[in-house]
Structure 1
Amino acid sequence: MLEIERKFLVKEELLPSLPSGHHLIQGYLSFGTPSVRVRLDTAESGLKNAFLTIKGKGMVSREEFEYAIPFDEAEQLLKLCQGAAIAKRRYIFSVVGEPSLKWELDVFEGENAGLMVVEVELPHENYTFQLPDWIGQDVSEIAAYKNIALAQHPYKAW
């Protein structure tokens, strides 16, 4: 399946009220192409999910395959990961004027604390949409802001 997304920095002082979030911990079993990621996802409600994700090469558009796996197996797989685990709180919401778009705000923790980015998944690469006032710099094509890069070179070390 083709994933098309843009990634932006955030003007934190202009952010709207956020919905309930999810706590994510993820790591990489492979930094190559394709990359292989394992993720634990715990909602504020206590609901737990886990996923194994395989991603192809690309910055804005790339192949992505995601599979639900047992939570306890994902916890074991995290122990096999390369680099640093990434911890973050994710908030998923839509914005006025573009209800069909899903925005995912990530507030990083641990070695990547201080970093906030938001991604929006698009139906095609040339899709035009209005940016909310809380959107900052477009970092979609800056490799350092990819999660895989943050696992190898955390934000606090920049």
Structure 2
Amino acid sequence: MEIERKFLVTTPPENYEFFPCHEIEQAYLCTEPVVRVRKEDDTCYLTYKSKGLLAREEYNLPLTKEAYTHLLTKADGNILTKKRYLIPVPGREDLTVEFDVFEGKFAGLMLAEIEFTSEEDAREFPPLSWFDRDVTWSGEYQNSRLSKMP
């Protein structure tokens, strides 16, 4: 089960570039239900996600690089590329902000996601000072939606 909040960011936190970072490329084979392929650094996998905004099922299956490359050609819509910075949440050793800085077609878009172990914790979490609008409930910035934008 994936339980996460998502926030639009217009001004990134200072020195975010010094935190651990992953290069991500992903594309969608289907958006209802969500079936995507992703390459994160040198690791590739296929992911299924059920419907939902705050909480939804998520399953990851490993892929070889060859399988990923083949499935990428079958994807519909935009291929998303981004750098994901892993930033600890002050005072919460159990939480990490996944700060995505998009490249390519969506260059300039920045989103922050935090995964939680319970829906209650997710709902009660106070946004960090550098977070702007909470977009969890609208779904407008779900990656699967971005993949379908003209």
Q: TM-score, normalised by structure 2?
A: 0.91
The amino acid across from 1:38 in the alignment is: V
CA RMSD, 1 decimal:
1.5
- Map 1:7-156 → 2, pairs under 5 A: 7-18=6-17, 19-33=19-33, 35-42=34-41, 48-127=42-121, 128-153=124-149
SS at match of 1:123: coil
Cα deviation, residue 32, structure 1:
1.4
SS in 2 for 1:92: strand
Would you identify which runs of 4 or more consecutive aligned residues in structure 1 move more than 3 Å?
13-18
Shift of 1:124: 1.1
Deviation at 1:16, TM superposition (A): 4.5
**Residues 109-138 of structure 1, C-alpha deviation per residue, up to 9 Å, x if partnerless?**
111111100000011112123432111110
Q: Following the alignment from structure 1 to structure 2, what is the Cα–Cα distance between the partners of residues 53 and 14?
A: 29
1:90-121 superposed Cα distances (whole Å, 9 cap, x missing partner): 11121211110121011011111111000000
How far apart are residue 13 of structure 1 and its match? 4.8
- The alignment-based identity, stated in percent, is 37
- Report the CA distance shift for 1:81/1:13 in structure 2 as closer, same or farther (over 3 A): closer
What TM-score does the superposition give when structure 1 sets the normalisation length? 0.86
User: Is the Cα–Cα contact under 8 Å of residues 21 and 83 in structure 2 kept in the other structure?
Assistant: yes
8 A Cα contact 1:98 1:129, kept in partner: no
- Please give the secondary structure, in 1, of the residue aligned with 2:69: helix
Aligned residues: 147
For structure 2, the residue ranges without an aligned partner over 5 or more in a row are: none
